[in-house]
Amino acid sequence: MKITKTFLALFLSSLLLASCTDTHEAVMRDQIEWLDEATSVLNNVAEGTTSSSEAAAKMKALGRQCEDFYERKEALSADATPEELLATTQQYAEHVAESFQKYLQAVEKVKESGKMSEELTSALENMDAP
């Protein structure tokens, strides 16, 4: 599934930030928060409190935030040591995996509810587009 591979790659590779005040940890926290927000939007669709069309618009907005993650990663990648990247990955691996699993469950809930429109599917597939 394209969505699964894309998110996993994003979370495991985006450990860096753009400014001197940024840290590897801040990128991970921001990405986890971002994923949790996407999960919440999907759960609202499955529960009927948000329409598929509204959710697609929210997912498109979240997708635009991915560009920020990529830019922050690129800005710090030259200064990061492999040890720093590994330490950060290990520190957040469990939380990332937990959030990602919840996201995947939310996607399935929306599919099972019959509310996964073409518009929402497209928005999900393009969430990582820089």
Digit-coded pLDDT (tens) for 11-60? 555 443 333 478 878 888 999 999 999 999 999 999 999 999 999 999 99
pLDDT tens digits for 58-115? 999 998 888 888 888 778 777 888 888 888 889 999 999 999 999 999 999 999 999 9
Could you read off the pLDDT of 85-96 as tens digits, one per residue?
888 889 999 999
CB within 8 Å of 112: residues ≥ 6 apart: 46
Q: Amino acid identity, residue 130?
A: P
Tell me how far CA of residue 9 lies from CA of 5, 13, 116, in angstroms. 6, 6, 24
Phi, psi of 11 (to 5 degrees): -70, -35
The Cβ-side half-sphere exposure at 89, using a 13 Å CA radius, reads 14
